[in-house]
Chains A and B, each alone.
Chain A
């Protein structure tokens, strides 16, 4: 990826735009889903999560449907085509047999996903047999070759856009590991050869072909029969190719989800170690909060998009001015003027480099030493040979000695001290009992059979679970100004603060054992607010009558909490720390320390309830006499009903009326 050296000096704010820009232009993905629709895809089924059998075709379709929904949210500039092969009907540019491109109105074959595409694709199964039909396209005796046709169609679709700005991919779903198995002799050799040649041609054009094989319950997908050659697997890679995917729907979806994002370098930085020795690093944003997309203002009548225009007006003269280059700060009854250049000069206290200052034991990194999401760093030998070797050596030493590095990261907007923590490959399974969380001896950094070559064509599939890549994480450290000492605020001046006794700690330990989340993984929860947001949006965009319910996965497991063992552990702990007769309210009063403010608030509320009872609100409201009352009187009602008391008199009155349902 090309990167301007000036990038290093760019502000983070600007960088955000920049990232967005690249997302849209440089790394747009053009993707063709190639789905086998042969009868075998329909006849083979495997158990899904809820005990119902699903055919391989259903699995593939539901995977695609789900990834389309993800894609329209996250990467809506990417373009997709959905293409079935081994079909009865045909629909494609070249009029080839046995290949059918699924599409909806107002959309090209390869285009951005739309709400309508998602909606109609969701009900493809019902219509499939009637409109598209399933039929084996490779029959002995004919020279028809549907796989060849399918690849050709996909390649033709992907002709759009230059290979430089777009990442072109074909994702192939099939459960047939030997497509030419029923063909004999020279024909078979010939067909195999031409198909492989077709795939190779596509790959030469910069198109990557990835295989998502579906295994039979009793028979594993044998990738070496044919597809290894097609997708270019060799030697070790071949042996490690795990065709386990597809046995379970979740695995398949997981696979697809992982592949949706292509790796993107945020920036390249130089890491200066000592004495002018500096190595090359790439930084990646592995964890960033996902937020609902930006809103666009529309004209409420025509629903046409509006453009915001910003203008600067001089308060003294009312004149329209250009964005001024001077800023000011009131200081000592004066306005001190500072130019924009001077401001950026102030912030520039170091070059954009990452500069090593030293190492500390991991125990020095406290839990409160955090401000922002971390950034992942990985070495690169692209410009400077030897960078990776130094990085690996430091990485291993830091792991073994349990130390982290302290460095100064001199970005122009946020020059900051950072901690660099070495991370070894770490597998954390979410739902696969086979892959329990396994921790390795820090010395052996990774399990050999989980390997991820960079070349996506040779990507190796691991099943289930989330993977922590090897490298270092850059943690942004706070400055002394950023840390608050709240705990000390409540230090008791008369000596000791209460501390738990051993018995209480023991009860707490017992409770902890009861409510233990084994295999907890940070990404096991979806963000319920985001889920809801997009569910609503999707329903409205697709003009669905009902908004689907979304599940809030973050709620505690009530069922588990109600287990007798848990309940009794809670009870015992409660008894141990609270004693027999614990009354929270009384405790407060008893201590005489209830906060002044809360006492006062309570008094006001009590008074309001009393005062409020003196008025016949219904009568006042019906006769429009509310406006004759004073604001203070109106507030009695509001306070008594715990409504907000802010706003002008009219607002108060309308709030009262709304509350009374009038």
Chain B
């Protein structure tokens, strides 16, 4: 862990022109700090602000100048204070000079580590680069930048610049902007610096790498074109899912006084014979059995090793084929990248030549790979060219795993032409669809492509880390709603929708949806349910507000079943269904069944509150419909059932919530007096205790 320790300096532009995006900067930087607290808690982070009113840095004391640059936090190990500091960045008042900030940052790192220390050092600059940088005393600005870049490279400092532009930049001086762009570009050419431009809050959120994973090769060796010609390559993962963290199980068994309690839960597996469950079989008494039809074949590991498939480590070319033979949906897994051995110029050339030839002729290569010795399987995959458009980045290949014959299931589907004419779109409808596909454009020319995977962060992870931070301060905090910025990924952008309102309306007008009347099934799925994290009436607001012939509308009325999710609403909907008396009977019947299920399936009473809700609703319904007998009989029945099945706690729960039978005063048909009603549950209790 300590080996990969990283020192990171955040250089944040807080000048006036940045104020509109600072909330996003705060979020993404605090997310970075929160992740560091978990995954690399020995990393050091410093924060430097520029564009501030004040000036506070060592260089200004030593040599003067470097105005409006504040070292907000000295470089030290990440802690909770850092998260808090990043969550509330001060707003600056001056135009920031990013070059000053870079020099201050570099100075801090050099002073801290000297020239020799090879630890990982990274500078991360977030700015809109709209303000002019000061003229230098000697040479041009370009010269100055080149000198700085050389220094950065010499000290092994990485640099990442995120430049906020487009809609977020507002009005800006074109000339200054271009000049700054040229300067920033020098960094990316002269050092291993990354430069990205973002135009939307979502992509700003996704642009900063919040967790650093040191890449590890999964293969180093030859790409064998034939037995005569080999190319030295290194294979890395290109995509790999950042998983939701696996939390440990918590045990509350330790006495609260025990300060050193770990609260861990160990999971233990015991193997018992099916026939004689008292006998525990130790690991050495077990053997693996493999299914073959109804039979289970025992095979010892040594036996298995002797006969199993043992391919040799290698990556072999099978041949080239037209790119169109490999359909996109065949890609099976996360993606790898093949890079020529970085120290081997001729290998780089060979990869480059192949990649460029493949791209030109629209071909792909099929390869067979065994990454490690002793690996029990082979993969067949496709290499597609990744021709670099940057001068200093070598060409490479992307590698995707292809399916084997066994992995493909050939289900047969009817051709669309075989569908009845009523299912075929007519000309007008087709035109409406064409317009929708054309106009609902996420990659308009001249603008940033929206929702690019490269700049789209995982909203679930963001929510988790934010919640974790929140909980560390307020242990009882509820799960916060989904971040407003990230909601753009889960719902269509209102801006795009409103721009294309006419196209969407035309589409809607042209197509008609009808619920299948014959189907006696709940269509609740088509209801628009509010996802958690959305405040009522917000979010999908304007979309949901104007249903024309939406299914949603009809289905509210047409609830024909009481489901698990919203039994009370379903019940009420059914009860209010006035188009037939049979609905009331059905509603009551279904509701009873649902309550039974809830009580029966309850685990340590977790369903009881819901069951109570249902009972209350049923009771209300029965009073309204003057059907007290239904409810009273059912409650009797339910209590009996509970007593029989050791579910007394449910009766107690009901008693404690003062649920009673329906009495004569409430419904004239009832045969139960007020007293009886009140005493019903209280009475049944002592009997069973």
Contacts and interface: CB of A to CB of B under 8 A. Distances in A.
Interface stretch (B119-127, B488-496, B584-592, B613-621): B488-496
A367 B250 contact: no
B241 interface: yes
Interface in B208-255: 209-211, 213, 215, 225-230, 232, 236-242, 244-245, 247-254
A350 B459 CA distance: 11
Given A298-B289, A328-B248, A311 B268 contact: yes
A290 B524 CA distance: 35
Interface in A263-288: 263-264, 268, 270, 272-280, 284-288
B345 interface: yes
Contacts of B135: none
B172 to A, nearest CB: 26
Contact of A554 (B378, B440, B565): B378
Nearest to B228: A570
B491 A347 contact: no
Interface residues of B, number: 237
Contacts of A99: none
A477 B317 contact: no
A305 B526 contact: no
Interface stretch (B514-522, B633-641, B648-656): B514-522
Interface stretch (B52-60, B67-75, B257-265): B257-265
B535 to A, nearest CB: 14
Contact of B353 (A373, A490, A573): A573
A508 B356 contact: yes
B270 A484 contact: no
Contacts of B522: 5
A588 interface: yes
Interface string A244-269: 00000000000001100101100010
A490 B339 contact: yes
B457 to A, nearest CB: 5
Contacts of B331: 367, 370, 373-374, 475
B394 interface: yes
Interface string B287-322: 111111111111110001001110100001111111
A505 B410 contact: no
Interface stretch (B4-12, B14-22, B421-429, B676-684): B421-429
Given A349-B533, A372-B332, A406-B442, 11 more contacts: A274-B497, A286-B409, A298-B287, A298-B289, A298-B298, A315-B264, A366-B453, A384-B516, A453-B418, A552-B378, A556-B318
A548 B321 CA distance: 33
B190 A493 contact: yes
B312 to A, nearest CB: 11
Find the residue from A279, A332, A338, A437 having the highest chain B CB count within 10 A.
A332
10 contacts: A275-B547, A290-B406, A296-B288, A316-B264, A326-B250, A342-B479, A390-B511, A417-B489, A483-B238, A512-B363
Contacts of A494: 392
Interface stretch (A15-23, A32-40, A144-152, A579-587): A579-587
Interface residues of A, number: 240
B180 interface: no
Interface in A72-95: 72-73, 76
Contacts of A319: 253
Interface stretch (A184-192, A461-469, A623-631, A647-655): A461-469
Contacts of A439: 324
Given A297-B287, A351-B531, A512-B357, A587 B345 contact: yes
Nearest to A469: B413
Contacts of B296: 296, 298, 303, 305
Contacts of A512: 320, 354, 357-358, 361, 363
B263 A335 contact: yes
B668 interface: no
Interface in B317-374: 317-322, 324-335, 337, 339, 341-346, 348-350, 352-358, 360-361, 363, 366, 368
Contact of B248 (A72, A311, A329, A452): A329
B334 A370 contact: yes
A544 B87 CA distance: 70
A13 interface: no
Given A275-B508, A337-B250, A536 B363 contact: no
Contact of B292 (A115, A369, A423): A115
Given A331-B38, A397-B437, A527-B406, A270 B525 contact: yes
Find the residue from B329, B341, B452 having the highest chain A CB count within 10 A.
B329
A343 interface: yes
Nearest to B417: A446
A300 B286 contact: yes
A225 interface: no
Nearest to A437: B325
B402 interface: yes
A76 B294 contact: yes
B438 interface: yes
Interface string A421-434: 10101101000000
Contact of B393 (A261, A350, A361, A488): A488
B547 A261 contact: no
A333 to B, nearest CB: 9
Interface in B518-555: 519, 521-526, 528-533, 543-544, 546-548, 550-552
Nearest to B332: A373
A480 B516 contact: no
Given A8-B525, A261-B411, A382-B516, A485 B405 contact: no
Given A115-B292, A491-B390, A577-B350, A384 B515 contact: yes
A300 to B, nearest CB: 4
Contacts of A323: 249
Interface stretch (A45-53, A128-136, A199-207, A496-504): A496-504
Contacts of A520: 319, 321-322, 325-326, 366
Given A358-B441, A393-B432, A573-B353, A312 B267 contact: yes
Given A299-B281, A384-B526, A332 B37 contact: yes
Contacts of A367: 331, 335, 384, 386, 398, 400
B646 interface: no
A359 B281 contact: no
Nearest to B504: A274
A175 interface: no
B472 interface: yes
A287 B407 contact: yes
Given A360-B443, A388-B423, A529-B309, A324 B392 contact: no
A72 B266 CA distance: 38
Contacts of A230: none
Find the residue from A480, A487, A552 having the highest chain B CB count within 10 A.
A480
Task: Kindly list the 4 A-B residue pairs having the minimum CB-CB distance in the complex, ordered from nearest.
Answer: A593-B343, A327-B247, A500-B353, A473-B329
Contact of B339 (A272, A378, A486): A486
A603 interface: no
B1 interface: no
Nearest to A390: B511
A482 B519 contact: no
B360 A505 contact: yes
Nearest to B395: A499
Contact of A355 (B425, B451, B491, B525): B491
Find the residue from A314, A381, A537 having the highest chain B CB count within 10 A.
A314
B350 A350 contact: no
Contact of A389 (B253, B316, B429, B434): B429
B689 interface: no
Interface stretch (B89-97, B104-112, B461-469, B574-582): B461-469
Find the residue from A359, A498, A541, A584 having the highest chain B CB count within 10 A.
A498
B398 A516 contact: no
A425 B194 CA distance: 43
A489 B192 contact: yes
B13 to A, nearest CB: 21
Interface stretch (B138-146, B271-279, B623-631): B271-279
